[in-house]
Structure 1
Amino acid sequence: MGLLKWCALLPATAAASLSVFGHKVPDTDTVTAAIVYAWELNARNISAQAYRLGELNPETEFVLKALEVPVPPLLPELSKEVAVVDTNNPEELPEGIQKTRIHSIVDHHKLSGLANAEPLEVDMRPLCSATSILYSRSKLYGLTPTKQMAGLMLSGILSDSLEFRSPTTTELDKVHAAELGKLAGLDVHEFAEGMLDAKAKVDHLSCSELIMMDTKIFNIGGKKLRVSVLETTKAAGPLAKKAELVTAMKELKEKEKIDDVLFFVVDILKESATFISSSSTATTLVEKAWKVKVDDQGLVVLPKVLSRKKQIIPKLEAAAKEEL
């Protein structure tokens, strides 16, 4: 068994000077990107270990099990030097990140205020996932991904693009997915279907867990907002829990001392998002952002809205600026 195949899959006890991780509340792209970037770094003779910053969601569990890849350990503490994937937002990273030496960042989001004392390598590209960027990097460094690494990179692309439905998808992402499917020995559509089925299996989760399954903090219009999305092929189930979700959002707002929690249920098959309001201020912001009317039940359907990064956050930021 070759060194490159397993160098990123060593147990946490193995010597590794560089900790590689993504954002809090990890999704499939952030977990797979951490593993793949650690593989790249080790192949470049830079000792690295992949970590996660939270528990896995059902889709990511499916991916790692299907590809027979060990779950990365939880980050015990910040090491002296780290590499960051799939984010550059300090709100999504461990406390103290600003005081740690950042070796590099591989990301596909907008600049979000992360500062560093020294120059560092930053690879940011408008592709649909961090793993799509990492596949481009593997070509640059002349690295041939193993079946597992190719499967991980494909998974990040399929997850973040919602199997190419999301407006974040580029033609290059589609090319990458086709190539990675061949390298991994996987039928791309069939594997994507398995991922979507796993993503929809959330009936066992509490409303608080649903809200926190895919969530990020944003500073918008001078306010601290938690914006959560639930991507699913079976939206009826979560929407039936509307009253409990509203209660959970209000409790989370008080607990975290933030200004609002916004929750969007993304129906992948219908290609729309349903906003569930838990406050009058959230309602006002969404109504202004999309020029819509939230109904008496605190709901509004937003057609063709699938991406938090490319559609939801830009709209909310634009609406907030109108108030300033």
Structure 2
Amino acid sequence: MNFLVYCLLPAASVASAASPVLSVFGHKVPDTDTVTAALVYAWELNARNISATAYRLGELNPETDFVLKRLGVKVPPLLTDVSAKDAVAVVDTNNPQELPEGILKASIHSIVDHHKLSGLSNAEPLEVDMRPLCSATSILYARAKLRGLTPTKDVAGLMLAGILSDSLEFRSPTTTELDKIHAAELGKLASLDVHEFAEGMLEAKANVDHLSPSELIMMDTKIFNIGGKKLRVSVMETTKAAGPLAKKAELVIAMKKLSQEEKLDDVLFFVVDILKEAATFISSSPTATKLV
């Protein structure tokens, strides 16, 4: 059976009576790395005879949708919350604010992440693999190599997509030489031209004309507490920055509305021109401008 099909089977069809099926997921407002990492980690766990099912915590963005369709991989089911003692594995985050409300009551089996420590705790010891690589899937590929697990073409494609997305095709300062080596190896395993695949992803990422200002703000966003203020920081990475920047007035209105609805001090929105490697900051208040 194809491992990715196995990872997406309903829990009852893969679990034994003796061990619960692990629910594997990343952060809310999922990006490409968090979705692909969940699928890949579920593949790894099942290869280790640990029953696991991959999930997502929100709707796919255009880039992730492109990746899954390009690779012929089924979209993982939506998970809305977890209950006390649910067995879970977390990827691409260790921040409780980015996870389901019930996460602190769940039984966390493991965490695979490339971000700084952000406060996720568990009542029992757990496996944690955190490394300074550009993406969670880059870590997962390193783990697979160490265990002697050879990714199938679709799994290799998912790993490659996570690396290319989070590194902006190696433009991000978080990119390491090891990430580049991983990408080259994965391109061969997936039978994909790395640059061509990355171009397709960037083109899909820029395809946002159909999205409302509110949807643009919520496409890649996280909440932070900085200097005693609760802030939502949103980022849009695109090769076509002119489109969203032309909607600046509508974006500011949507930002102010969101700030009121979520009782935030401010919303900060950055439009990143990937090709020019430059960012434009859009603020909804003078306070936000002072914080940047």
> If the length of structure 2 is used for normalisation, what is the TM-score?
0.95
Q: Could you say what secondary structure the match of 2:101 adopts?
A: coil
Q: Which runs of 4+ in 1 moved over 4 A?
A: none
For the 8 Å contact 2:80–2:100, the answer to whether it is kept is no
Tell me the equivalent position of 1:69. Answer: 73
Tell me the equivalent position of 2:54. Answer: 50
Q: Shift of the alpha carbon at 1:11?
A: 4.7
* Percent of residue pairs bearing the same amino acid type: 83
Could you tell which deviates more after superposition, 91-100 or 6-15? Answer: 6-15
1:24 to 14, 23, 28: 28
2:155 to 149, 155, 161: 149
Q: Shift of the alpha carbon at 1:260?
A: 1.0
Tell me the equivalent position of 2:219. Answer: 213
List aligned pairs for 1:141-290, cutoff 5 A.
141-286=147-292
Q: Could you say what secondary structure the match of 2:170 adopts?
A: coil
Structure 2 Cα separation of the partners of residues 233 and 3 of structure 1 = 35
Q: Shift of the alpha carbon at 1:236?
A: 0.3
For the 8 Å contact 1:107–1:123, the answer to whether it is kept is yes
- Shift in alpha-carbon separation, 1:4–1:55, aligned structure 2, 3 A: closer
Structure 2 Cα separation of the partners of residues 11 and 187 of structure 1 = 33
1:167-189: CA deviation from partner (whole Å, max 9, x where unpaired): 01000000000000000000000
Structure 1 Cα separation of the partners of residues 183 and 176 of structure 2 = 11
1:97-155: CA deviation from partner (whole Å, max 9, x where unpaired): 11111000000000111121111100000100000000000011110000000000000
For the 8 Å contact 2:81–2:101, the answer to whether it is kept is no
Q: Shift of the alpha carbon at 1:9?
A: 3.6
Q: Shift of the alpha carbon at 1:10?
A: 2.6
For the 8 Å contact 1:8–1:39, the answer to whether it is kept is yes
Structure 2 Cα separation of the partners of residues 8 and 135 of structure 1 = 17
One-letter code of the match for 2:74? Answer: P
User: Which stretches in structure 2 are left out of the alignment for 5+ residues?
Assistant: 16-20
Q: Shift of the alpha carbon at 1:76?
A: 4.5
Tell me the equivalent position of 1:123. Answer: 129
Tell me the equivalent position of 2:109. Answer: 103
One-letter code of the match for 1:154? Answer: L
> If the length of structure 1 is used for normalisation, what is the TM-score?
0.86
1:18-38: CA deviation from partner (whole Å, max 9, x where unpaired): 100000000000000000000
Q: Could you say what secondary structure the match of 2:13 adopts?
A: coil
For the 8 Å contact 1:21–1:52, the answer to whether it is kept is yes
For the 8 Å contact 2:57–2:80, the answer to whether it is kept is no
**Root mean square deviation, CA, Å:** 1.2
Q: What count of residue pairs does the alignment treat as equivalent?
A: 285
One-letter code of the match for 2:242? Answer: A
